Structure 1
Amino acid sequence: MLKIFPKLTALLLLFSVSSLSATELSPQQWVTNMVKSNQQLNYDMTFITLGPIDTLSLRYRHVFDEDTVYAQLLNLDNSPQEIVQRGDIVSYFANNYPPFSIESNHIVDQLPNILRVNISDLTKHYEFIDLGRNRIANRVAQTIRIQPKDNFRYQYVVFIDEETQLLLRSDMLDRDGNLLEQFRVVNIQLNTEPQTFTNYLAFAHLPPLVQHSAQVIDKNVINWTPSWLPQGFTQLKATREKINNQYIDSQLYTDGLFSFSLYVSDSPLPDNHETVWKQGSHTIYSETINKKEITLIGQIPLTTAKRIVQDIQFK
């Protein structure tokens, strides 16, 4: 008993000191610091993602050097796949398709949206709620719920490492609290010698950039618009693409955390039927309106997608 007492005392002291430092930060500050840490620290982590169909294990390495991001995402299951980032170029390598590159300032695959948000843009439409402390990957974590102020979008619960302020786990939940997707770190460590990794990517031969055929156009050129959107969603871009002698218009919207795209074409569905596909957080909904096929694809609830599509107005 005497041998156990010092260990219990040390453990209680650790938690009390950590609690003192944790209370100095608001839930918004914890999430703000988490985003900054994930973007600017040098680290190496192994994590798993749980989706509606399967569970994947991956390794992610990240280095921030002289305002340039170097990153690598490796799929540890099934067929090999590697995604690398060097600055504003992200390149994809796999066995089942030729390698290619796109212009992007981050890797989006298998990494949660919450890593790339601007917290100040979310505070009008989301509440940040302190859920206390937890333990993830043998590390003490602060737990924060990011809850929408309406019923038109999903919510997040994030677990943030108290020591490094890196994200250790995130749960995307629907409005009833059902799990849609989960990101969970198994092992994480800071990279104290990043030079070898940056040299590898700095001099690597990257595949050519994919040339997009879609033309970015002024939103005023498109003759249709959604007459209703959940508060906070704004248009990022509008494009027009010609496929098989037919034009397809698209508009991309986001509230800073979730996003969706609207597509309008002159190919109405037969008998004005609707098409619905739902898998985890991803929704596809199509309907014929005004003799045009309107399709929404994005991370929003099906009821929200239906209302947006059905309220499309043509000029």
Structure 2
Amino acid sequence: MLQRSQKLTALFFTFFISLFSLAQEKTAPRQLLENMRKANEQLDYEIAFVQTTPVNMESLRYRHVNQNGKIYAQLITLDNAPQEIVQRGNIISYFQPNYQVFSLQGSQIVDNLPSIMWSNFDLLSNYYDFINIGRNRVADRIVQTIRILPKDDFRYQYLVFIDEQSNLLLRSDMLDREGNLLDQFRVVNLHINEGLDDLPHYLNNITFPPLISRVEPSEVTNIPFSWNPEWLPKGFKLINKMLNQDKENQIESLLYSDGLFSFTLYCGHSIIPNIPENAWKQGSTTFYSETKENKEFTFIGQLPLSTAKRIVQDIRYLSK
């Protein structure tokens, strides 16, 4: 029994020596991130994962096939009422209980999946530092761990864990500046090139719901708004404008992103004029609103509360 215990201890020690290797074996973090992006786009794979926030946890399954450059993908919930999002080429369709089904144009499913999977790292390198902090272990696989640190104090940070064999993302932690966990994506099961032959056939036989038209990026400036944020953290660009109008209210919105984090500014008539500021957080999402001249401006997005507050307070009405 003692001899067996000594052998197990030796094997255990040898495993962890190989797992947490010396610094000279670390791969350049930028190259690891580029390899991850290519693997997420090009490989055929299936992952079961959990998404965790301080107030919620969801279990989901994502299947992805690249067939001659055409993407077929499926994201489904594994608990409670079934929900499904599917992608065929550049069409993404949503099937959710108690909601009308619809389709959008897009290059990938973004719901419940970290945006870091498809980020442009040439762009992000202007605003973030990438640091390889060594090996770890996720879903019984060896991973390289990269810390993504903002170069300013206006946004959050990331830890990403990249599979050494496949280069797929197996875990990501979104952290605030103090290191508190805001959102975690964690793979618990991974299959590559296994049992995915039926996915393109299944999606090719689905009748996709109607396509909702969206404002093209080249057309966003054609929608006149009377307001605009005068300050934004460096790197955030206008992605889309929306104008929703009903009999009682008109809501204008601006969507911004730096390629990793995003937020939306909303403007509408205030229900209670001159209400004080309101702020709260739900996981990684910040909500902040203020009333200016009987219009309520609301921030919803993945940035710290102090940043959201500064953005909203620096909104100005445009001179006519």
Q: TM-score, normalized by length of structure 1?
A: 0.90
Distance in 2 between residues matched to 1:23 and 1:99, nearest whole Å: 49
Q: Which residue of 1 aligns with 2:306?
A: 303
Distance in 2 between residues matched to 1:18 and 1:163, nearest whole Å: 16
AA in 2 matched with 1:181 = D
Q: Secondary structure at the match of 2:312?
A: helix
How far does residue 14 in structure 1 lie from its aligned partner after superposition? 10
Q: Which residue of 1 aligns with 2:241?
A: 238
The answer on whether the counterparts of 2:50 and 2:186 sit within 8 Å (CA) in structure 1 is yes
Q: Secondary structure at the match of 2:221?
A: coil
Distance in 2 between residues matched to 1:204 and 1:182, nearest whole Å: 32
- Segments of structure 1 that go 5 or more residues without pairing to the other structure are none
Pair 214,117 (structure 1): closer, same or farther in 2 beyond 3 Å: closer
Distance in 1 between residues matched to 2:298 and 2:55, nearest whole Å: 23
Q: Which residue of 2 aligns with 1:224?
A: 227
Cα deviation code 1:210-268 (max 9, x no counterpart): 35699954168323221111111111122333222543322111111001111222436
Q: Which residue of 2 aligns with 1:250?
A: 253
Q: Secondary structure at the match of 1:180?
A: strand
Q: Which residue of 1 aligns with 2:111?
A: 109
Distance in 1 between residues matched to 2:189 and 2:53, nearest whole Å: 20
Q: Secondary structure at the match of 1:72?
A: strand
AA in 2 matched with 1:38 = N
Cα deviation code 1:35-91 (max 9, x no counterpart): 111111100111111123221111111001111111111111111111111111111
Query: Which runs of structure 2 are paired with 1:180-199 in the superposition (5 Å)?
Result: 180-192=182-194, 194-199=196-201
The answer on whether the counterparts of 1:219 and 1:238 sit within 8 Å (CA) in structure 2 is no
Of 262, 266, 284, 2:265 maps to: 262
Q: Which residue of 2 aligns with 1:98?
A: 100
How far does residue 299 in structure 1 lie from its aligned partner after superposition? 0.8
Query: Which runs of structure 2 are paired with 1:52-71 in the superposition (5 Å)?
Result: 52-71=54-73
Q: 252-261 vs 105-114, which deviates more?
A: 105-114
How far does residue 300 in structure 1 lie from its aligned partner after superposition? 0.7
The answer on whether the counterparts of 1:269 and 1:287 sit within 8 Å (CA) in structure 2 is no
Of 27, 30, 35, 2:29 maps to: 27
Distance in 2 between residues matched to 1:271 and 1:24, nearest whole Å: 56
The answer on whether the counterparts of 2:19 and 2:135 sit within 8 Å (CA) in structure 1 is no
AA in 2 matched with 1:221 = P
Q: Secondary structure at the match of 1:150?
A: coil
AA in 2 matched with 1:163 = Q
User: Once the two structures are aligned, what percentage of the paired residues are identical?
Assistant: 49
Query: Which runs of structure 2 are paired with 1:29-178 in the superposition (5 Å)?
Result: 29-178=31-180
Distance in 2 between residues matched to 1:95 and 1:204, nearest whole Å: 17
The answer on whether the counterparts of 1:214 and 1:241 sit within 8 Å (CA) in structure 2 is no
AA in 2 matched with 1:47 = F
Q: TM-score, normalized by length of structure 2?
A: 0.88
Pair 15,86 (structure 1): closer, same or farther in 2 beyond 3 Å: farther
Q: Secondary structure at the match of 2:145?
A: strand
Q: Secondary structure at the match of 1:62?
A: strand
Of 264, 269, 281, 2:284 maps to: 281
The answer on whether the counterparts of 1:61 and 1:71 sit within 8 Å (CA) in structure 2 is yes
The answer on whether the counterparts of 2:71 and 2:88 sit within 8 Å (CA) in structure 1 is yes
How far does residue 174 in structure 1 lie from its aligned partner after superposition? 0.7
Q: Secondary structure at the match of 1:168?
A: strand
Count of residues in correspondence between the two structures? 315
The answer on whether the counterparts of 2:243 and 2:253 sit within 8 Å (CA) in structure 1 is yes
The answer on whether the counterparts of 1:32 and 1:119 sit within 8 Å (CA) in structure 2 is yes
How far does residue 3 in structure 1 lie from its aligned partner after superposition? 11
Distance in 1 between residues matched to 2:175 and 2:260, nearest whole Å: 13
Q: Which residue of 1 aligns with 2:202?
A: 200
Matched, 1:312 2:315: yes
Distance in 2 between residues matched to 1:170 and 1:256, nearest whole Å: 16
AA in 2 matched with 1:300 = L
CA RMSD of aligned residues (A): 2.9
The answer on whether the counterparts of 1:57 and 1:76 sit within 8 Å (CA) in structure 2 is yes
How far does residue 271 in structure 1 lie from its aligned partner after superposition? 2.9
AA in 1 matched with 2:282 = Q
Q: 33-42 vs 189-198, which deviates more?
A: 189-198
Q: 125-134 vs 10-19, which deviates more?
A: 10-19
